[in-house]
Every structure is written in structure tokens, then in C-alpha cells.
Amino acid sequence: MSQPIKFCPRCGTLMRLKTVNGRLYLVCPKCGYQEEVGQSKISVSRKVLHTPKEKIVVADPNEVPPDAQVIKGSVRCPRCGHDEVLAWTMQTRAADEPPTRFYRCLKCGYTWREYS
Ligand SMILES: [Zn+2]
Ligand SMILES: [Zn+2]
């Protein structure tokens, strides 16, 4: 089982899991933001991205989609050099343009994009 991964909605830092009185919380180590996590809905994203074909989705790169994958070893964070990152692709512009690939460092939370 891998740890649920979620980033602080305030500052984008990778949140840590914490158990208080038997309840599970995600806590931001940087700004202190915390929220309770129900056992059943530990998930990467706060909402499901619906992508109807005819509509251009202008996605917020701060939203990590549920299908984001953890990549180890092949991509390095340009900020801290950590080699475990979350990777996902998103249609950020017109539908006929290639999707943008996003990476987010699992250590420092830095997010960057790569045009394919
Ligand atoms: Zn925070
Ligand atoms: Zn980093």
C-alpha cells in the first residue's frame, strides 16, 4: 500500500498523515493547515475532473488528478534534486494541442511542467 498523497490547498506543500484520537488527518508541515480524512476517501484529488470531449478543460496545475503516477529515479526535481515525483498530463490549451506534462516533487512540492 502506498501512502495517500495530497498537497496543501493553501501552500502546495506535501501533507503528512497524522492520527489523532483514532482519527486520520492530513497536516501541512509548512503552514499547519489540516483536514480530516475519512478512511474510505483517502484520495489524491479533491474532486473528479470531468473531461467532456467537446469542452476544453483549462486545468489548474495545482490540482493533482487521481491518475497521477509516482515516478522514481527518472525525473529530478529542479529545485531540490529529489528523484521521486508525481507525474500527470493535462490538456491545458486547445484540444488539438498536445497535453502538458506536469511533475510535482514529492519532497518539496515544487511543481513544474514540460511541453511534449
Ligand atoms: Zn500549507
Ligand atoms: Zn523538490
pLDDT digits (tens, 9 = 90+) for 105-115: 999 999 999 86
Q: How much of the chain exceeds pLDDT 70, in percent? A: 72
Expressed in angstroms and rounded, the spacing between residue 39 Cα and the centre of ligand 2 is 28
pLDDT mean over 47-69 = 62
Confidence of residue 42 (pLDDT cuts 50, 70, 90): very low
Placement of cell 497535453 in the chain: 99
The yes-or-no verdict on residue 97 having pLDDT over 70 is yes
97 is catalytic: yes
What DSSP element (H or E) covers 100?
Answer: strand 100-105
pLDDT mean over 16-44 = 80
Query: Which numbered ligand comes closest to the C-alpha of 106?
Result: 2
Pair (21, 77) in one structural domain: no
Full domain range(s) for residue 114: 46-116
Pair (59, 99) in one structural domain: yes
Pair (33, 20) in one structural domain: yes
pLDDT digits (tens, 9 = 90+) for 70-83: 999 999 999 999 99
